Structure 1
Amino acid sequence: MITDVICEDPRWDDAGLEDLSEIAAAATLTRLALEGDWEVVVMGCDDERISVLNADFREKDKATNVLSWPSEERAAEKAGNPPLPPKGPDPELGDIAISYDTCAREAAESKKKFADHVTHLVVHGILHLLGYDHIDEKDAALMEGLETEILGNLGIADPYTI
């Protein structure tokens, strides 16, 4: 198992967050050729909980779809691919929180399958754990391209097409 899933909101159990997270993590690590026993903690919560986390850690007092906390800083010093983590004694990549309410709303608004949207957001969160970001246009294009490729490998349509 790559993911350790904690469902604070029971709707995530019914939605299959554990399986979706494992599939997303495996596809992401495979695409990046990260071998070994890596670990990611995924917490499924609701808008109320993620709003508190977003306020505490990002000073944004509102709900969001996914948050991530890398176990260590992995961002590239300049635009482009961040260095991949070396194999070492600590396989922990970090933690992700994902809100059921926001994911369900976004999936409905964009007419996407809920499971596909959740898979996308877990891939997105794991890429953040690995140092990818979307702060500037070049890094955003790189990250979105990876997300699209990883999801395509899973048979999920490009999430950035309208």
Structure 2
Amino acid sequence: MKLSLTLQQAFEAPELVLKRAYLKKVVETSLRRMNTQSDCEIGIACVDIDESHKLNLEYRKKDKPTNVLSFPSDLPDEMAQILDTFPIGDLVICIPVVLQEAIEQQKTPIEHFTHMLVHGTLHLMGYDHETSDEDAEEMEALEIEILKKLGFENPYIVKED
């Protein structure tokens, strides 16, 4: 499997320096766990509060910014089979929300960003934590496993002061 990654950084923060090679490693680790064999492409946009809020309102009817939005490719299976590289979709990650959540959850910025990147990638692959408790548990278990492979602790364990 080969991954083509497009990165748009409309918002940058000195406490979270993102390198394309790192992003590819995280997404590839997630896709390999899903047994993805075909070459894929993904778009990642790092945005500010206003853009996240606008997109969340437009696409999810939620009037607030959010940490990550996932836009899976809607290509029919027949079309996907004839392409050399399958577009799995796009992620929009709101850097200010991720940074604020990292503080609240007592995590490093890269730790929480990586979790959101894995979380969003799983959404692109069809996982959804909002449909049932069973689906949420399955998705969380996958996130924990993938993040462990990347050297991170369970993101769902609340750190004590």
TM range (shorter): 0.7 to 0.9
CA spacing shift, 1:33–1:123, aligned 2, 3 Å: same
Structure 1 position 2, deviation (Å) = 3.3
Q: Deviations over 1:118-151 (max 9, x none)?
A: 1110111111011000121000000000000000
2: CA distance, partners of 1:142 / 1:73: 25
Higher mean C-alpha deviation, range 143-152 or range 23-32: 23-32
What TM-score, normalized to structure 1?
Answer: 0.85
- Structure 2 CA distance, aligned partners of 1:116 and 1:22? 16
Matches within 5 A, 1:1-162: 1-11=3-13, 15-16=17-18, 18-72=20-74, 88-89=82-83, 91-135=86-130, 136-162=132-158
Q: How much does 1:13 deviate?
A: 10
* CA offsets 1:52-100 (integer angstroms, 9 cap, x no match): 00011111110100000100289xxxxxxxxxxx754151000100011
TM, length-normalised to structure 2: 0.86
When residues 12 and 28 of structure 1 are mapped into structure 2, their CA distance, relative to the original with a 3 A threshold, is farther
Task: Tell me, in whole angstroms, the C-alpha distance in 2 between the residues paired with 1:102 and 1:12.
Answer: 15
Question: Identity across aligned pairs (percent)?
Answer: 34
Provide the secondary structure at the position in 1 that maps to 2:118.
helix
Distance 1:161 1:51, change over 3 A: same
Distance (Å, rounded) in 2 between the aligned partners of 1:12 and 1:92:
30
Greater Cα shift, 16-25 or 130-139: 16-25
Q: Which has the larger displacement, 136-145 or 88-97?
A: 88-97
Letter matched to residue 9 of structure 1 = F
Conservation of the 8 A alpha-carbon contact between 2:49 and 2:94: yes
* Counterparts in 2 of 1:28 and 1:158: CA distance versus 1, 3 Å: same
SS in 1 for 2:74: coil
